[in-house]
Structure 1
């Protein structure tokens, strides 16, 4: 595992150092926050769902449970982007995303089920919102299980094609640099914190990087997708991340980054 961590550390340092001045400039006014400040509900206008009873959890059809976690349209349209995100991460059925074989498979399924996420992805400010949120969370304060889940949601939802597809060049570079800095911090923490020692900790970087290259139809990556079934299956959320996939995707990304940033 340590070799994998070192690999990530070196890759992320490389990408981050390519445009360090730019990311520092973008982050100059970003105040680091702990989980309560970053993901808390205080001061937000959120929809109040009636909690399920133990009997309802046990006997109610799952599709009916999902139906009861849809927000009425008139209320939904009045919510801002942050409120939509926080509404989802605190919803009692959000953790269903963890019941699938991979993070990507779980989150793609969840996105299809809840109108709060579908509305979130309609918002034009999602690229700036997610980049800013990624920059402001103090990873060292991500400690308990609830906070880890909220942070996972932030990273996985930000890596999806609905957000990546709206990014302009400047936002794309900022996203890549921000993600690289996060990976560096996770790699450092993994030496002492077992919560960061699994390959799934880096899923959001691989999915985000892959979706960026797909958006730009970057030839080496598109050819890799065609020739390597394993890469296709990973991007579709069918198989989990492994070291081979990390090497293949990041090799393409480093070349793509140089080209985009030239």
Structure 2
């Protein structure tokens, strides 16, 4: 049987309806704190409750394209954002409307501006990752998985540079790690570890314009190197103790 003959006898009504959505865990650092982007739902189900940016994919639209579109439409954020697939969620009762499978994405960028709500959202705002409201659907689980993925990836990839901007000091990079991991790090040990990882960062040959509030020496500026994986990895303090 060729394809045209098969399609002529195919009745989609014979199969249960299933929809596909995308949800985005968007993270940034604002005021020295890790923040996640949430939208307040303007429609049922869960009208008025906060949720991750997302929605149904359109016919002919690929998943990464849908994630980028939803992030742009509901928040106005589209540029300078690193985005990658996180996980899939398909529990039968996760959405009261019908069987809905969600493909989640993780997005990072430094210093993102205040968002704007899209047509199907009542509001959009950055929320501190440690001070979150009750979320719609199973978005608390998705967000928790996204935060843990981000913390893990700081150990073995140069993801931290996606939070730091095009040029940064080692101190600024350390602040990213401290904020995402939620623990203080020894400045000298961190500096030594960063410069010992091949391809993690590279010098721009420039320095900061001043030495900071205490009038110290000007700090060297760095940019992301060409490494895709960090070897050796930068383990979180708790994991370092486990290794020992």
Q: Which has the higher strand share?
A: 2
TM-score, normalising length: structure 2: 0.31
